[in-house]
Amino acid sequence: MRRYLFGLGAALALLLGACMQSPPPPSSADTCTPTATGQGFKTQGLEASWTLPQGLGDFSAPHVPGELLVAGEGLSPQALSVRVQGVEPLRRLRGGSLLVRVPPGEERAKAEALLRAGARWVQPNYLYFPLRIPSDPLYRLQQKSQLNGLVGLEGAWDYSTGDANLIVAVVDTGYLLHQDLSSRWYLPPGVNLDVADGDPDPTDDTPSARDTQNPFSHGLAVASVLGAETDNRQFMAGVTWHGRLLPLKVARLADGSITTADIKDAVDLAVQQGAKVINISLGRLRQDSELEQSLRQARSQGVVLVAAAGNDGVDGVLYPASSPAVIAVGSVNNSKAKSKFSNCGPELDLVAPGEGVTVLFPNDDDGQASGTSFASPMVAGVVALYMSKYASERKAWPSPDQVYQCLTATAEDLGPPGHDTGYGFGLVRADRVMTDTTSCFP
Cα-based distances in Å from 341 to 7, 103, 150, 233, 314 = 9, 38, 19, 33, 8
The residue among 336, 368, 332 whose CA lies nearest residue 141 is: 368
CA distance 199 to 156: 38
CA distance 240 to 248: 19
Catalytic, 218? Answer yes
Residue 85, Cβ neighbours under 10 Å: how many?
A: 10
Handedness of CA 61, 62, 63, 66 (dihedral sign): positive
Catalytic, 172? Answer yes
- The answer to whether the CB of 325 falls within 8 A of the CB of 305 is yes
Phi and psi at 259, nearest 5°, equal: -125, 165
* Identity of the amino acid at 249: K
- Report which secondary-structure segment, H or E, holds 99: strand 98-101
Cis-peptide into 89, omega within 30 deg: no
Strand partners, 280: 171, 307
CA distance 77 to 90: 9
- The answer to whether the CB of 279 falls within 8 A of the CB of 168 is yes
CA distance 355 to 364: 22
The residue among 415, 215, 433 whose CA lies nearest residue 330 is: 415
The residue among 422, 375, 262, 382 whose CA lies nearest residue 8 is: 375
Catalytic, 242? Answer no
Please tell me which residue in 63, 218, 242, 419 is annotated as part of the active site.
218
Please tell me which residue in 322, 373, 376, 388 is annotated as part of the active site.
373
- The answer to whether the CB of 279 falls within 8 A of the CB of 222 is yes
Three-state DSSP class for residue 316: coil
The residue among 419, 427, 300, 284 whose CA lies nearest residue 44 is: 300
Please tell me which residue in 163, 172, 204, 288 is annotated as part of the active site.
172
88-92/2-4 β-pairing: unpaired
CA distance 219 to 207: 13
CA distance 24 to 30: 17
* Identity of the amino acid at 276: K
365-369/357-361 β-pairing: antiparallel
Question: Which residues are part of the catalytic machinery?
Answer: 172, 218, 373
